């Protein structure tokens, strides 16, 4: 097991991107637009026991992540013992409650069967049972063919390039602010409850002046643009945006299970099948994003949230960008930067596959391969040297995959070759993964967060001092023209 010394590093972003806390719930927060413009002061209600959502149908939801923090702090602040890797079938059902016909429906995950759900062992040894071949895809054979060919595997009904309307759909008057879930360089993320359907969401609040000061206008607009385009089981959902004279607001689903980062720090490192499960879900998400020419550029455990069933949601699209050919921006987290980014060379989707390798390494080992005393410059030097030491407990197939992902040679890096994501998905480490079943979450997650579904349970998130400045104030808006699509 790695020593605690490996757990003391603090992650910092090279480009001060805002933290994103997002989620995925089956209905829009409002049915009718509330035009109230009264300033709202974010305060925590004194009585949360009388939660109106308790009468609502059970919904599978996910939750925002908190801002980047010291890994050691996660170990100190958490009083909950590390949860065992649960291999038993889910006690909850996957079925999504149907939203009313009058509410906007930007995202419709397909309902999932609750019988014969395989356990984590089936990820490694998939069942040959005939019932297992039944799926929620419109054409399961086509889905399998897509998986074999390395194409994005997504449930039927998902249109990859459909752009949702998000601008001005909601206002502060539509929500009751509950508490802060996380803070970042430009603002914070709040847990909120819709006054219309009583469900819980997350609102990311960004201070315009700070975004402009840190020269993150383009990244902020890109985040909204990318989230508006995507819908996938393992990606966060943006329901709508709005703004006032001082702040930008992004309404997203509340992902209850917290960060994978926190679970990893409690566990120190994951067993090979567990790391494989999470890596496979991330691979499907990257495959989908790349099919839209979107580069994510900030993959790390802090940006991976667990929904209440234990499946992943990738959040924080602050560095995501549509890149059909090449880009040069230096952004990301030092430990996860690809050498072509560090060397200020042009790059493309290849950087996400490098980051996937770093993520798998950290899940298996408990530390990143180029970490050195938390010094970004030293980390950059190590990345450019490219020397990786693999602990003896790393599975040979895993090491082979890592060596083909964490390579500075772009002509050899898996995911960047002619076969694209197919080369990653068909690697021996993933050989037994049934991709089409995983894409519809028809495989049990190895860990189910201990949360109360649909009750606004934020117990898996750290507590923060609440914002004292009232939201929704009118006045001069010198920066509003920079954020016209909010």
Nearest alpha carbon to residue 178 among 460, 466, 462, 453 = 466
Question: Is 253 one of the catalytic residues?
Answer: no
Question: Using CB atoms within 10 A of its CB, is residue 100 exposed (0-12), middle (13-18) or buried (19+)?
Answer: exposed
CA distance readout (Å), 254 to 25, 38, 115, 194, 392: 7, 24, 26, 12, 39
> Quick check: helix, strand or coil at residue 88?
coil
User: Is the distance from CB of 474 to CB of 244 less than 8 angstroms?
Assistant: yes
Give the CA angle between residues 203, 91, 51 to the nearest 5°: 40
Give the residue carrying structure tokens 């949601």: 313
Nearest to 241 by CA among 259, 228, 232, 222: 228
Distance CA 95, CA 17 (A): 35
Per the residue annotation, which of 174, 222, 298, 457 is the catalytic one?
A: 298
**Annotated binding residue 204:** yes
Q: Beta 187-194 vs 175-183: how paired, if at all?
A: antiparallel
Largest CA distance in the chain: 65
The residue with tokens 């009313």 is 100
DSSP 213-229: HTT-HHHHHHHHHHHHH
Name residues whose C-beta falls within 8 Å of residue 439's C-beta, 6 or more positions apart in sequence: 143, 147, 153, 154, 155, 233, 284
Catalytic residues: 298
Annotation: binding site for ATP: 204
Annotation: binding site: 204
């Amino acid at each position: 097991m790695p020593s605690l010394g490996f757990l003391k590093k603090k992650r910092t972003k090279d480009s001060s991107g805002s933290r994103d806390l997002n989620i995925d719930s089956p209905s829009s927060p409002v049915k009718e637009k509330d035009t109230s413009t009264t300033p709202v002061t974010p305060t925590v209600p004194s009585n949360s026991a009388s939660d109106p959502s308790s009468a609502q149908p059970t919904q599978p939801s996910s939750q925002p992540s908190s801002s980047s923090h010291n890994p050691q702090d996660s170990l100190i602040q958490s009083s909950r013992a590390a949860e065992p890797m649960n291999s038993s079938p889910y006690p909850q059902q996957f079925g999504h409650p149907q939203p009313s016909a009058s509410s906007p429906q930007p995202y419709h995950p397909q309902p999932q069967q609750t019988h014969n759900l395989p356990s984590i062992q089936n990820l490694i040894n998939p069942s040959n049972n005939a019932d297992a071949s039944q799926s929620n895809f419109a054409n399961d054979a086509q889905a399998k063919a897509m998986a074999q060919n390395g194409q994005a595997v997504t449930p039927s009904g998902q249109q990859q390039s459909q752009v949702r309307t998000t601008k001005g759909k909601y206002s502060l008057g539509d929500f009751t602010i509950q508490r802060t879930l996380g803070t970042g360089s430009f603002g914070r993320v709040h847990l909120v409850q819709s006054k219309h359907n009583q469900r819980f969401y997350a609102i990311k609040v960004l201070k315009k002046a700070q975004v402009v000061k840190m020269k993150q206008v383009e990244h902020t607009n890109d985040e909204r643009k990318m989230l508006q385009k995507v819908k996938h089981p393992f990606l966060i959902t943006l329901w709508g945006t709005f703004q006032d004279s001082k702040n930008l607001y992004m309404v997203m689903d509340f992902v209850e299970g917290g960060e994978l980062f926190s679970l990893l720090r409690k566990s120190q490192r994951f067993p090979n099948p567990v790391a494989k499960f999470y890596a496979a879900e991330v691979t499907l998400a990257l495959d989908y994003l790349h099919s839209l020419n979107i580069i994510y550029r900030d993959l790390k455990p802090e940006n991976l949230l667990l929904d209440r069933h234990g499946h992943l949601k990738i959040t924080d699209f602050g560095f995501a960008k549509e890149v059909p050919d090449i880009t040069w921006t230096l952004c990301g987290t030092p430990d996860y930067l690809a050498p072509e980014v560090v060397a200020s060379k042009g790059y493309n989707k290849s950087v996400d596959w490098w980051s996937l390798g770093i993520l798998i390494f950290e899940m298996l080992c408990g530390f990143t391969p180029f970490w050195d005393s938390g010094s970004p410059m030293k980390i950059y030097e190590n990345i450019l040297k490219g020397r990786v030491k693999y602990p003896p407990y790393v599975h040979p197939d895993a090491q082979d995959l890592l060596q083909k992902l964490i390579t500075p040679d772009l002509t050899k890096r898996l995911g960047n070759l002619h076969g694209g994501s197919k080369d990653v998905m068909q690697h021996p480490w993933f050989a037994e993964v049934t991709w089409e079943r995983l894409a519809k979450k028809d495989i049990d997650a190895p860990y189910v967060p201990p949360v109360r579904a649909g009750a606004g349970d934020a117990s898996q998130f750290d507590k923060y001092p609440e914002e004292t400045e009232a939201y929704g104030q009118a006045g001069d808006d010198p920066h509003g023209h920079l954020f016209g699509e909010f």
